[in-house]
Each structure stands twice: as C-alpha cells, then as structure tokens.
Amino acid sequence: MSFRSFTARSVGIVTARAAIGSARRFPRHGVAGLVMMLVGWVCAWLPTHPLSAGSFILLWVGFIFAVDELVLWRRGTSLWQDHRWKFVQLFLFSVPVWWLFEGLNIRVQNCHYILDQPYGYRWTSLTYNLMATACFSTVLPAVMEVASFLTSFAPLRPRLVANEAEPVIPASWLMREFGGGIFMILASLIWPHIAFGLIWLVPLLLLDAINAANHRRSAIGHLIAGDWRFVAALALSALVCGFFWEMWNFWSLPKWYYTIPYVGFAKIFEMPVLGFSGYLPFGVELFALYQILLWLTRQRDDALPF
C-alpha cells in the first residue's frame, strides 16, 4: 500500500469516526424536546388524564427545544446553545406580553376558555393565574425560534443583518404610524363589535413607532430599507405557530374557542379561516413588544440571528 493510499484511508477512517460521533451528539436537546412534545400531545388529547392541565406547557416547551435544535443544525448556533440567558429571558418577557393581549381581549371578547370540569376543583383563582402565566411564557420564544429557523433559508433571509443599522425614519412617518395606533385603539374600544380586529394591531403600530424613534430594530425600519423579508418571516412564523396552537387545542381540555363577529364561519379547528389572518401581524407585534421590553430593561442586544 502506498503512503498516499494509507494516508487517504487513515483520513477516511478518522472522518467516519468523527461523523459517527457527531451523529451521536446531534440530537441533544432536540430529542428531549420531541419526547416532551409527544407526551404533551397525548396528555392534551386525553382530557381526563391527570396531566392534561399541564400538557400545553409540556407541548410548547418541547416544541421550542425541538425547533432550537433545528436552528442549531441550520445555523451552527442557537439561543439555547450560545445565548442561554436570552433564551430564558424570552420566556420571562412572554408573560407580560400575552397578559397584555388577555387585557385587550376583555373589551372585544373574541377568545374564551373552557376549563377541565372533571378536575374543576384545581381551578381556583390562584391556580388558574399561575397555570395561565406558565402557558403564556411559551408564546414569545416559540415564535422567535420559528423565525430563527425560517430566516436561515435564503428566500426569507432578511437583507439587513441582525446588527446592521436601520435607516433613519422621518419623524412624519413615525407620527403617522403612532397616530394610526392611537386611532385603532380608540376605535376598538368605542366600537368593539365592529372594530374588534383593530385592537390586535394596536401594539404593532404604537410600539414599532416607539422602537424606531429610539433607534431600535423595527418593522418600519426594515420596510423603508426595502427589507420585506424580515416582516414576512415574522408573520409566517406566527402563522406556523398558530396552526399548531389551534391543532393541539382542538381536542384538548382546558381549551379555548372564539366568537368573532361576521367572520365566524368555515372553521379550521376552533379558528375561523379568516381569523388565521390575525396571526400575520401578531408575529411582528411580538417582535415589537420584545424590543420594547429590552429597551425598558436597558438591553441593546436581542441575540436573535435575523
């Protein structure tokens, strides 16, 4: 055997062993996430199961870890792998974010909850609020993880990289955006049965304008830079999560259902078909709310890869 052949064979053996080792290491937290999803899914669709009340948390924490593994596979980096505190912080920030939407829903009354009656003794005011808070903590990280995955593909990869400065937004544009948010919140509060859809756009316009005015990352900054992919990726990410939210909710208990005037027909799961369009601005709203909370806590880096 020649020296060249021996060397090539040796390199091949080493490479193969490295590949096997890499394959063994690959699953990591992704496998744990998939197991959690499977267990949570089974418990969610067995409403009399003692774990059914906590199945939402199990499902979505598992989903988040599984998608984070996909992000790591695609990018070589992920929030859990390299920015663990920011990963945890997404869960913490998600709580006030979704409680805000719960507060908005009080006026428009589009979403309602059904608790698990066979185990109704568990749902005191304290246990309900603690369980709801735990469930709400998964919303923001789920959407941001999906966005991190989707933006790893060229068609949805933003033109502006994560740390690139956005263009300066004219004050007149910011005033229009902020003014639009004020108009929408007033309209939805005065005519909740007619302008109910507007209330879900209020945080987007108001907070996005504040972010841009404070030179933070914003949807309007990306759009003025011609970067529509950024907004599209966030919108699509929320829609993807929305599909799984609605699917896993359908046969679950506790669960939610909707009463939406004028568009409550042709349902997919519990959500009217047209209602799914509400998920599109929701993803961008979550990003705006995340940036606001970072600003309030005096943090510049969001650690998001898109």
pLDDT band of residue 27 (cuts 50, 70, 90) is low
Q: What does the angle CA 157 – CA 161 – CA 163 come to, to the nearest 5 degrees?
A: 150
Higher pLDDT, 11 or 212: 212
Domain annotation covers residue 216: yes
Cβ neighbours of 23 (radius 10 Å): 9
Domain annotation covers residue 255: yes
- DSSP state letter for 119: G
Domain annotation covers residue 254: yes
Reported as a single tens digit per residue, the pLDDT across 217-234 is 999 999 999 999 999 999
Domain annotation covers residue 303: no
Residue given tokens 């428009």 in the structure block: 108
Distances in Å between the Cα of 67 and the Cα atoms of 86, 133, 157, 175, 254 are: 16, 22, 17, 37, 25
**Among 219, 222, 225, 185, residue whose Cα is nearest residue 203:** 185
E strand or H helix at 113? strand 111-114
Rounded Cα gap, residues 143 and 242, in angstroms: 9
Domain annotation covers residue 284: yes
pLDDT at 126: 82
- pLDDT at residue 1 tops 60: no
Domain annotation covers residue 14: no
Domain annotation covers residue 102: yes
What radius of gyration do the chain's Cα atoms show? 22
Residue given tokens 């949570």 in the structure block: 40
- Least confident span in 28-37, 114-123, 154-163: 114-123
Name the domain count of the chain.
Answer: 1
- DSSP state letter for 269: T
Reported as a single tens digit per residue, the pLDDT across 191-223 is 988 888 888 788 889 999 999 999 999 999 999
pLDDT at 254: 84
Domain annotation covers residue 16: no
Reported as a single tens digit per residue, the pLDDT across 100-115 is 999 988 888 899 998 8
**69 Cβ contact list (under 8 Å, min separation 6):** 27, 28, 29, 30, 33, 78
Segments forming the whole domain that contains residue 262: 86-296
**Among 62, 1, 48, 75, residue whose Cα is nearest residue 252:** 48
Percent of the chain with pLDDT over 70: 86
Q: What is the mean pLDDT of the chain?
A: 87
**Cβ-based burial of 13 (10 A; exposed 0-12, middle 13-18, buried ≥19):** exposed
Reported as a single tens digit per residue, the pLDDT across 66-82 is 999 999 999 999 999 99
